[in-house]
């Protein structure tokens, strides 16, 4: 279950944020799929959690959009994480036209539980 946080500058149009909200669940799921957590193309509640947050007054960094993806560590994910994040960056650009942004892929040792 990937957790995704999108931080953005006030100058990013709402239409772009809506487009990101639309495409990120699928694109992130494809990017982090692995034998231990395969993606069948059918997202269910709890599969991807995305949060959007506008930059605060003390946030700084230079990019108008930063997307942080956190997904449970598996060796099969970790061995090619740079390739995964590069492809995800390209897919987001192709799907949305977003040009100036960064993606940070984090693979922590973690566990997840949820109600059915």
Q: 11-22, pLDDT tens digit by residue?
A: 999 999 999 999
**Would you say residue 113 has pLDDT above 90?**
no
Q: Which residue has the tokens 């970790």?
A: 78
**Would you say residue 110 has pLDDT above 80?**
no
**CATH class of the domain at 3-106:** alpha beta
Rounded distance between C-alpha atoms, residue 52 and residue 77, angstroms:
25
Q: Where are the domains of the chain?
A: 3-106
**Stated pTM of the model:** 0.91
pLDDT confidence of residue 112: 74
The three-state secondary structure class of 63 is coil
């Amino acid at each position: 279950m990937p957790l995704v946080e999108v931080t953005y500058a006030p100058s990013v149009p709402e239409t772009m944020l809506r487009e990101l909200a639309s495409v990120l669940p699928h694109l992130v799921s494809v990017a982090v799929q692995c034998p231990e957590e395969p993606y069948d193309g059918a997202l269910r509640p709890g599969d991807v959690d995305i949060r959007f947050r506008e930059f605060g007054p003390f946030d700084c960094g230079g990019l108008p959009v930063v997307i942080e993806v956190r997904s449970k560590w598996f060796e099969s994910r970790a061995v090619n994480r740079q390739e995964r994040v590069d492809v995800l960056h390209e897919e987001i650009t192709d799907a949305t036209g977003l040009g100036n942004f960064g993606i940070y892929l984090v693979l922590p040792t973690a566990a997840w539980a949820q109600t059915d």
